[in-house]
Amino acid sequence: MGNTAAGIAKHSNPMALAGRHMMTPVQERPQERSGASKGPHTRTRLPLLHDSVGLRRQPLGLNPSTRFGSALRLGPTRRRTPRPGDQSYPIAPGTVGHGSASAASTSSGLRDSPTRNLRLNGPGPQDQRRVRVPDATVVVRGQTKVAKMQIDATLFATLADAVNGGVHQPGSVEYATRMSSIIMADSAMRQPAVIVTPEDENDIAAVLKLAAQAGVAVVVRGGSHSAFCTADDAILIDTSVHMKTAEVMGERVRVGAGATMGAILAALAPVDRVIPIGAAPSPGMGLALQGGVGEIGRHFGLTLDHLVSARVVLTSGEVVVVDDTSVGELADLWWALRGAGPNFGVVTQADFRTHLLPQITTNRFVLDVPDLAPFLAMARILPRTVSMSMLLNGDPTGEPRLLIMLMNSGAPREVFQDHVTQVQHLITQAGATLHFGVQEVGPYQDQPPFAATDSAGNTPPPEADDAPISERVFPYSRSGFLPADADLATVAVLLGQAFAAAPNPMCRIDIQHIGGAVGDVESNETAFWNRDAEWSVTITGAWFGPDSQREACTDWADETAAALRPHFHGGYVVEARPDHPSMAEQVRSAFGENLPRLQALKRQFDPTNTLRGYYVL
């Protein structure tokens, strides 16, 4: 049984840890800032154990796959200007960039229509045959495949004429480049029928309308951190090329469809403002529309709770603006966007409210894996300005470790130091060896990755951007929320047993501390249902290469989730997987009593189910 809150001793002075290391005060040393915040807010490093340790950091914006470890304008309609390289129908595999058109599609007059009436003109139904494009060799991250796709050549030609951005087919250099840059390895291996890199929301409206009329599925890529950001035989709208702006507007920030959470924080850094994000900077708009569970969420709430308005392109091609003042069906859409947004349209621009937060203080402890119950019990009674997240993961040498990340976003310094001392005391009581400890003060966007370190403070190196498939880390995650009244003793035992049975050191269990401000919003106020959670638990099996340990790691994650299911109170939809046998169950657990309303709104706003590449509502 774990200690109760009343039994947690408080100490005001440094003490011996793990029976081996005596902590001694050290002088604060300024460290060069890697962020863009203003000069007065310097970062300091306060090693708890090793005064001379040099701390390595992964700057925001680098490949964020460290999360898994590597050991884991409604503007006027524009008439397209012919450009060099425009092709003629028929079209062979390749790329049509910046609205290059075929002779057949030019006759449809799409660009001549002031109302942008996107009808699939041309031959009659008897002539609308499917044309096999010659097989294209697709190379994705070093893995060669032959793409045998049947596409409607007329649709491709019409797409090429309807958009000013690029239209790329399998076999083209840009197609391969866009697929190779996708973070999620399984998603990078899929084969969309075509990739469109839109220049603006007019392009997106054209694609959605044409796809709906033709019965073709559409998926959207923003940060590419999702298992749903690609799909076989679908039109992939890649917003990460031309639509990734982030502009500070007073106490708000306006972002484009392709902006990542890291890009938003970087834009806010010069004015010392933030929005809460998840555990990594790489996710994009999809995270903001479905949750955003992160370290300062206890203090400020979910990422989606900061959305104040959105421009949305519906599958009909209509562009609408929604916010708290919306009424009628637009109010319904505003509700659905905040929790299940990708199922209802493409958000091309969003405004978020922000918080002034020049710096935060973070303590990291890396130790042998103890009984987790006392640490969970302590976390449960912390003020909302302090979070205590934990990670079971192998360190860079492969040794099993527990990372405790204690983060202060607003508590008085002396109060936070009391909580630091409490953690130190629990470590001593557990008899666990502390391998690394450090306190860091700096801006939110410069916080270290959520990963176990070795005794020198090194985290696993990030995956190379051009790593071939055979050398990439494949993550597979299951998740659930634990309520504050969970049976912590039993949960701690199950977590410990599961981690001990992990197939390899890259496998990990994240225990992210939430509660606080997340629960200030009623469960039916937005589509995000699970507001009473105290922890978000994510079980991630991870392996190198497409199939090396896939079965063992996926079975481990599924079995661990099944063991914890009696203790879970709902799930997190961002961790769902396409075609997983438990998809329906995961959707029900994520949306709870909000699901019937979401299902009705899905039929209303996407009657052709064009956005069917996501989880099925």
pLDDT tens, residue by residue, 477-487: 999 999 999 99
Q: What integer pLDDT is reported at residue 458 of this predicted model? A: 84
- Percent of the chain with pLDDT strictly greater than 70: 75
Q: What is the pLDDT of residues 240-255, one digit of tens each?
A: 999 999 999 999 999 9
The model's confidence at residue 62, banded by pLDDT at 50, 70 and 90, is very low
| Residue 461 DSSP symbol | P
Which of 114, 120, 85, 89 has its CA nearest to residue 100? 85
HEC sequence for 462-485: CCCCCCCHHHCEEEEEEEEEEECC
CA 527 to CA 350: how far, in whole Å? 17
Burial class (CB in 10 A: 0-12, 13-18, 19+), 369: middle
Q: Mean of the pLDDT values across residues 414-433? A: 97
- Answer yes or no: is pLDDT of 130 > 70: no
CA 476 to CA 576: how far, in whole Å? 9
Q: What integer pLDDT is reported at residue 462 of this predicted model? A: 72
Query: E strands within 409-495?
Result: 434-442, 473-483
The two tokens of residue 175 are: 């197609």
Q: What is the pLDDT of residues 311-326, one digit of tens each?
A: 999 999 999 999 999 9
Which of 346, 603, 608 has its CA nearest to residue 617? 603
- Selected residue with higher pLDDT from 153 and 426: 426
Buried b (16+ CB within 10 A) or exposed e, 552-585: ebbebbbebbeebeebbbbbbbbbbbbebebeee
Q: What is the pLDDT of residues 365-410, one digit of tens each?
A: 999 999 999 999 999 999 999 999 999 999 988 999 999 999 999 9
Cβ pair 314, 335 in contact under 8 A? no
Q: What integer pLDDT is reported at residue 466 of this predicted model? A: 63
Q: What integer pLDDT is reported at residue 235 of this predicted model? A: 96
Tokens 């100490």 locate to 11
The alpha carbon of 578 is separated from its chain's Cα centroid by a whole number of angstroms, namely 16
Cβ pair 385, 409 in contact under 8 A? yes
- The mean-pLDDT minimum among 48-57, 466-475, 598-607 falls in 48-57
Sign of CA dihedral 574, 244, 473, 168: positive
Q: What integer pLDDT is reported at residue 152 of this predicted model? A: 72
Cβ pair 366, 401 in contact under 8 A? yes
Q: What integer pLDDT is reported at residue 151 of this predicted model? A: 57
C-beta pairs of 291-294 under 8 Å, 24+ apart in sequence = 291/339, 291/528, 291/572, 291/573, 291/574, 292/261, 293/512, 293/514, 293/518, 293/536, 293/572, 294/512
CA 26 to CA 45: how far, in whole Å? 10
Cβ pair 533, 482 in contact under 8 A? yes
The two tokens of residue 282 are: 């790489």
Cβ pair 275, 303 in contact under 8 A? yes
Q: What integer pLDDT is reported at residue 120 of this predicted model? A: 28
Sequence-ordered list of residues with C-beta below 8 angstroms from that of 141, at least 6 positions apart, any chain: 180, 185, 188, 466, 467, 468, 469, 472
Kindly write down the DSSP assignment for every residue of 272-336, as one continuous string: TEE----SSS---HHHHTT----TTHHHH--SGGGEEEEEEE-TTS-EEEEETT--THHHHHHHH
CA 247 to CA 281: how far, in whole Å? 17
| pTM (two decimals) | 0.79
Q: What integer pLDDT is reported at residue 4 of this predicted model? A: 27
CA 139 to CA 300: how far, in whole Å? 43
Q: Return the top range by mean pLDDT from 90-104, 178-192, 445-459.
A: 178-192
CA angle at residue 10 from 18 to 512, to 5 degrees?
Answer: 70
Q: What integer pLDDT is reported at residue 457 of this predicted model? A: 86
The strands making up 508-513's β-sheet, listed across from edge to edge, are 29-31, 43-47, 434-442, 360-367, 400-408, 386-394, 508-513, 533-544, 473-483
3-state DSSP helix/strand/coil % of the chain, to nearest 5: 30, 25, 45
- Percent of the chain with pLDDT strictly greater than 90: 65
Q: What integer pLDDT is reported at residue 562 of this predicted model? A: 96
Cβ pair 538, 512 in contact under 8 A? yes
Sequence-ordered list of residues with C-beta below 8 angstroms from that of 600, at least 6 positions apart, any chain: none
Going by their DSSP bridges, the two strands 386-394 and 533-544 should be labelled as unpaired
Other residues' Cβ atoms within 10 Å of the Cβ of residue 54: 10
Strand-pairing partners, residue 137, are 146
CA 117 to CA 447: how far, in whole Å? 48
Q: Mean of the pLDDT values across residues 535-563? A: 94
Q: What integer pLDDT is reported at residue 220 of this predicted model? A: 97
